[in-house]
Structure 1
Amino acid sequence: MDLRNKKILVTGADGFIGSHLTEELVRSGCDVRAFVCYNSFNSWGWLDSLAPELLTSLDVFSGDIRDPHGVKQAMTGCDIVLHLAALIAIPYSYHSPDTYIDTNIKGTLNILQAARELGVAKVVHTSTSEVYGTARFVPITEEHPLQGQSPYSASKIGADQLALSFYHSFETPVAIIRPFNTYGPRQSARAFVPTVITQIASGARTIRLGALHPTRDLNYVADTVAGFMAVAQCDAAVGEVINIGSNYEISMGDTARMIADIMGADIEIVTDQERLRPEKSEVERLWADTAKARRLLKHEQNYAGLEGLRRGLARTIEWFALPENLKLYKPHIYNI
C-alpha cells in the first residue's frame, strides 16, 4: 500500500511517538490529519515544535478519543488510521485506572466502530510490550502469553483483543503493532531514559531511580516510527500482531550508567521507594523476538544492539541538553 496516495489519520499525534510519526509522514509527502487532544489552550502538544513548513501541511483535528462522534468525524474521508492515542504511564494507572479503561479500551472501540462503518482501508492499532508481562521465555515472540501486571497493561490487552475481534468478526482490516520500549527526543520524564538524562543535565549527581535490575528492549524512536510505516504499508500485516524491537536486552542500571558515561558524569544512584512498582506488578524482563517483523515487513532496526543503543542515547541526550528543551521538564520531582 502506497501511503502517499492515501489520507492518513494519526491519533495521539500530539504525543511523543505520535509527533515523530506525523513528522515523518509529512516529510514523506503523505496527506496527514493529526488527531490531537482538545484543550482550552489550543495546544497541539509536540506538534507545536515542528517546523512551520511542516505544520502548514497538516490537517489538525482537536477532539477526544473517548467521544465516538468526534472520532467518527475525524476519520471521515481517511483511508488509513494509525491509532496511537492512549494513556501510557504505568504508575498513573495505579492512581486512576478508570481513565485507562475509558481511553485505551473505549477509545479503541470508537476507532474500530468508525472504521467498520466508514469502510476504512486499514487500521494500525498500537499495542505495547507491557502486555507480555515478565517474560516466560526469551526472546518474546508474538505467541507469548499475555499477562496484565498493571491496570495499564490490562487495558492494552483489552484494546488489543477488541481490535482482533473486529478483524475476526467483521473483517475490519486491522494490524497490531507491538513496540517494545521506545526512547528519544520529546519523551515524557515519566519514562526511565528522560528521567536519568534530565536529572544529570540539571546538575544532579545523586540520581533518584526505581528498580535497576529489570531488563528492557530499548528502541530509538526513529526505528519505532519506521516500524509503524512498514506495518501501514504491508498488506500482509492485516490480522497480525507484530513485535517491533531491537532483539536486545539491557538492565535499567546499565542503561543509567551508559547515559552517565556518554554525558561525562560521575553519578551515584539511589533507590527512591516512590518510584518502585508493587512487587508483583514489576515486569522483570522484556526482550523482543523480531523474526516476524523481518519476515513480513522486511524491517530492521538501525539502532539495535549495544552500539546502536549508545548512538540513540547520544542523539537523545543532545536534544534534552538544549536549554530550550530541558526547561520543559521538572527533574526535581517524580513524574508519574
Structure 2
Amino acid sequence: MDLNNKKVLVTGADGFIGSHLVERLLKEGCSIRAFVYYNSFNSWGWLDALPKDCLSKIEIFAGDVRDPNGVRTAMKDIDVVFHLAALIAIPFSYHSPDSYIDTNVRGTLNIVQAAKDLGVERVLVTSTSEVYGTARYIPIDENHPRQPQSPYSASKIGADAIADSFYRSFNLPLTIVRPFNTYGPRQSARAVIPTIITQLLNGKSEIRLGDLIPTRDLLFVEDTVNGFVEIAKSEALIGHDCNIATQSEISVGDLAQELIKQINPEARIITDTDRLRPEKSEVFRLYGANEKIKCHTGWTQNFSLSEGLSKTIEWFRNSDNLKQYKADIYNI
C-alpha cells in the first residue's frame, strides 16, 4: 500500500510512540486525524510539543477508545488506522486491572468493529512483547507461546485475539504490530530508561531501581515508527502478527551502568523493593526475532543502542523537557 495521500487515523496519537508516528506519517504525505484522550485541560499530550507547522496539518479528534460512538465518528472517511491507544504501565495493572480490560480489550473491539462496518482499507493493531512473557527460547519469534504474566499482558493478549478473530471471521485487512522495548524522547517515567536518566539529571547520586537481572530488546523510537510504516505498506503481512525488534538484549543492570557512565559516573544503584514485580510476574528475558519484518518489508534498524541512548539523553537535558518529569516519585 502506498500511504501517500491516504486518510489515516492514529489512536493514542498524544502518547510517546503515537506522537512520533504522527510526525513520521506526515513525511509519508498522509492526511492525519489524531485521536487523543479527551480531558478538561484540552491537552493534546505530546502533540502539543510538535512544531506549529506540523500541528496545522493534523486534524485533532478528542475522545475515548472505550466509547464505540466516538470511535465510529473518528473513523468516518478513514483509509488506514494505526491503533496505539492503550493503558500500558504494568505496575498500575496490578492496582486497576478492570481499566486495562476496558481500554485495551474493549477499545480494540471498538476499533475493529468500526473498521469492519466502515470498510477501512487497512488496520494496524499495536501489541507488545510482554504478551510473550519470559522467553522459552530465543530469539522470540511470532510463534512463541503467549504467557500472561501481568494483567496488562493478559489484556493485550485479549486485544490481539479480538483483532485476529476479525481477520479470520470477516477478512478485515489487519496486521498485529508487536514492538519490543521502545525508548526515546517523550517516553513516560514509568519506563526504565527515563527513570534512570531523570534521576541522574536531577543530581541523584543513588539511583533507585527494581530488579537488575531482566534483559530487554531495546528499540529506538524512530526505528519503531519506521517499522509501523513499513508493515502498513506490506500486503504480505495482512492477517499476520509481526515483531519489531533488534534481535539483541541487554540487562537492566548493564543498561543502568551505561547511562550512569554517560551522565554521572559517581552515581550508584540501590534496590527499591517497591519497584520489584511479583516474582512470577517479572518477565526475565525479552530477545526478539526480526526475520519476519525483514523478509516482508524494507525495514532495518538505523540506530544502535549507543546512538539511541545518546539522542535520548540529549532530549532530556533540555530543561523544558526534564521539568515535566517527577524524578522524586515512583511513577507506576
TM-score (norm 1): 0.98
Q: How does 1:298-313 map to 2 (within 5 A)?
A: 298-303=298-303, 308-313=304-309
Match of 2:317 in 1: 321
Match of 2:107 in 1: 107
Q: Which amino acid aligns with 1:155?
A: S
1:61 aligns with 2:57: no
Q: Which amino acid aligns with 1:309?
A: L
Match of 1:334 in 2: 330
Q: Tell me how far apart the structure 2 counterparts of residues 174 and 158 of structure 1 sit (CA, whole Å).
A: 16
Match of 1:24 in 2: 24
Match of 2:72 in 1: 72
Match of 1:194 in 2: 194
- Cα shift at 1:30: 1.3
Q: Tell me how far apart the structure 2 counterparts of residues 237 and 264 of structure 1 sit (CA, whole Å).
A: 44
Q: Which amino acid aligns with 1:150?
A: S
Moved runs in structure 1, 4+ residues, more than 6 A?
Answer: none
- Cα shift at 1:235: 1.1
Q: Tell me how far apart the structure 1 counterparts of residues 22 and 235 of structure 2 sit (CA, whole Å).
A: 21
Preserved CA contact (<8 Å) 2:5 2:29: no
SS for the counterpart of 1:144 is coil
Q: Which amino acid aligns with 1:319?
A: W
Task: Give the direction of change, closer, same or farther, for the CA distance of 1:264–1:272 in structure 2 (3 Å limit).
Answer: closer
Preserved CA contact (<8 Å) 1:200 1:265: no
Q: Tell me how far apart the structure 2 counterparts of residues 183 and 148 of structure 1 sit (CA, whole Å).
A: 23
Preserved CA contact (<8 Å) 1:127 1:177: yes
List per-residue Cα deviations over 1:287-320 (Å, max 9, x = no partner). Answer: 01100010011211112xxxx1011000000001
Q: Which amino acid aligns with 2:116?
A: R
TM-score (norm 2): 0.99
Q: Which amino acid aligns with 1:32?
A: I
Match of 2:236 in 1: 236
Preserved CA contact (<8 Å) 1:16 1:187: yes
Q: Tell me how far apart the structure 2 counterparts of residues 41 and 143 of structure 1 sit (CA, whole Å).
A: 43
Match of 1:216 in 2: 216
List per-residue Cα deviations over 1:133-181 (Å, max 9, x = no partner). Answer: 0000000010000000000000000000110000000001110110000
RMSD: 0.7
- Cα shift at 1:261: 1.2
Q: How does 1:9-20 map to 2 (within 5 A)?
A: 9-20=9-20
Match of 2:82 in 1: 82
- Aligned sequence identity (%): 61
Q: Which moved more, 1:227-236 or 1:103-112?
A: 227-236
Preserved CA contact (<8 Å) 2:200 2:264: no
Match of 1:290 in 2: 290
Q: Tell me how far apart the structure 1 counterparts of residues 174 and 25 of structure 2 sit (CA, whole Å).
A: 20
Q: Which amino acid aligns with 2:307?
A: R
Q: Which amino acid aligns with 1:15?
A: G
Q: Which amino acid aligns with 1:229?
A: V
- Cα shift at 1:22: 0.5
Q: Tell me how far apart the structure 2 counterparts of residues 141 and 316 of structure 1 sit (CA, whole Å).
A: 28
Q: Which amino acid aligns with 1:151?
A: P
Unaligned runs of 5+ in 1: none
Preserved CA contact (<8 Å) 1:13 1:35: yes
- Cα shift at 1:265: 2.9
- Cα shift at 1:264: 4.0
SS for the counterpart of 2:33 is strand
- Cα shift at 1:237: 1.2
- Cα shift at 1:23: 1.2
Q: Which moved more, 1:264-273 or 1:77-86?
A: 264-273
Preserved CA contact (<8 Å) 2:185 2:312: yes
Q: Tell me how far apart the structure 2 counterparts of residues 283 and 267 of structure 1 sit (CA, whole Å).
A: 26
- Cα shift at 1:256: 0.5
List per-residue Cα deviations over 1:104-147 (Å, max 9, x = no partner). Answer: 00000000100000000010000000000000000001000000
Q: Tell me how far apart the structure 2 counterparts of residues 264 and 153 of structure 1 sit (CA, whole Å).
A: 34
Q: Tell me how far apart the structure 2 counterparts of residues 138 and 245 of structure 1 sit (CA, whole Å).
A: 12
Q: Which amino acid aligns with 1:335?
A: N
List per-residue Cα deviations over 1:213-266 (Å, max 9, x = no partner). Answer: 000000000000000001111111110110001000000000001111122432
Unaligned runs of 5+ in 2: none
Q: Tell me how far apart the structure 2 counterparts of residues 121 and 5 of structure 1 sit (CA, whole Å).
A: 13
Preserved CA contact (<8 Å) 1:27 1:54: no
- Cα shift at 1:27: 2.9
Q: Tell me how far apart the structure 1 counterparts of residues 285 and 6 of structure 2 sit (CA, whole Å).
A: 39
